[in-house]
Amino acid sequence: MATARSGVKAIQNGWRILIISIAAGCIAALSWSLITIPMYRASATFLVFPNANLTSSRDVVSSLDTLEGKTVSTTYADILDSNRVYQDTIDRLQLDEAALKNIRVYSDVQTDTNILILYVEGPNPQLNTLLANNIGQNGISFIKSIYQVFDISFLDLALEPTKPYHPNPWLYTLIAAGIGLVSGLIFLLLRESLRVPLELLKERALTDKQSQAYTRKHMVRTLAQELVKKVDEPLPFGLIHLTGLEDLIDGLPEGMIAKVMQDVVKQLHHMLRGNDLVARWDKLEFSVMLPSTPETPAIKTFERLLQSLEQPLQVDTGDLIQLVPVEGVVIRRPEDTVDTMIQRVEEALNTARTGQTKIVVSK
């Protein structure tokens, strides 16, 4: 279901690509139709029937049974488009071989009938018609010279075609539009399938694997962006050190450490707004940034964070761990840079770790 929604969203967001893909296919089809030499098809039809000179009714019935087997009709069709009849016709008409370069001659037997069709295709409609009728007449003469039981004659002479059968601009444009649509859909779906893993990789690169909070590098980058983009807005920034884990961190199993750190991050997120950031700053430290938050509400928020983390944390063994958090907080000054803010907040945190108060605010 999620994959289907992702595909629909990709198509909705990429409708311009679909239009471009369809338009490109249509333009390509029309352009190809304009530069392609038109091909015309002339056709003459023939009827195969028992010879009128058969002397007895038994011979007529026998010949009709033979015709139903289609062997005679197929044989006559093969004779009509044979190379012998074709070459003999060309020699009689004294046609130039160069004019016959793109000519195609073939025959067919209509289903459940004794009617043959001789087709001549090529770029010259007059030549096609001339060949169809003359090949047909020459073929009739050749057949009558060797077969006496069954006769063949013209049913319809070939008429000069007025419209080419190839290319068909409307049909080719419709097909090209469909191909363009399918190609565009495939491209969008492939792009979406590649984009999702790339986004996941990007997200993982910004996330601390153990705690699932942002990395220190990402926090520093975001802090720099906030300082540049929102010069006139307040920017509180704080560090939280978990002093209660200093003697335990090296002795706890890796899985338990990860669980503790993730629980800490969950508590912090629970107390913060959606646009506030939490990052793993060091082994036992987390950084918190409160964009566009005035000084007084920001200090109250950091106090609530401290109170939340002071509550004992239960681990998988059922034991309780005291995190014993301390905080250093700074409020952005007009002259502050990323380096000066980090320096001030680390100094405030060191003061909190060595002093009597659990939170030190550097204004």
Q: Which residues of 100-136 are buried (b: 16+ CB within 10 A; e: fewer)?
A: beebebebebeeeebbbbbbbbbbbbebbbbbbbbbb
Cβ neighbours of residue 152 closer than 8 Å, sequence gap 6 or more: 46, 47, 48, 49, 76, 116, 139, 140, 143, 144
Residue 40 pLDDT > 90? yes
Measured CA to CA, the distance from residue 361 to residue 345 in angstroms comes to 8
Residue pair 245/284 in contact (Cβ under 8 Å)? The answer is yes
Q: Which long-range contacts (CB under 8 A, 24 or more apart) does 170-173 make?
A: 172/29, 172/32, 172/33, 173/26, 173/29, 173/30, 173/33
Peptide bond into 167 cis (omega under 30): yes
For tokens 């015709």, what's the residue? Answer: 67
Residue 156 pLDDT > 70? yes
Residue pair 103/121 in contact (Cβ under 8 Å)? The answer is yes
Whether the model clears a pTM of 0.75, i.e. scores above it, the answer is: no
Measured CA to CA, the distance from residue 216 to residue 281 in angstroms comes to 5
Distance between terminal CA atoms of the chain?
51
Residue 267 pLDDT > 60? yes
Which whole number is the average pLDDT over 9-35? 79
Strand partners, 109: 116
Residue 362 pLDDT > 90? no
Residue pair 122/164 in contact (Cβ under 8 Å)? The answer is no
What pLDDT digit, counting tens, does each position of 189-223 carry? 777 666 655 555 566 678 888 898 999 999 999 99
Q: Output the pLDDT for position 63.
A: 46
Strand partners, 49: 151
| Best CA proximity match to 265, nearest among 281, 279, 254, 282 | 279
Helix, strand, or coil (residue 122)? strand
Measured CA to CA, the distance from residue 138 to residue 154 in angstroms comes to 11
Q: Output the pLDDT for position 265.
A: 93
Helix, strand, or coil (residue 288)? strand
- Pairing mode, strands 277-282 and 285-289: antiparallel
Q: Output the pLDDT for position 60.
A: 44
Q: What is the DSSP letter of 243?
A: G
What pLDDT digit, counting tens, does each position of 218-261 carry? 999 999 999 988 878 899 999 999 998 888 887 788 888 899 99
Q: What is the DSSP letter of 248?
A: T
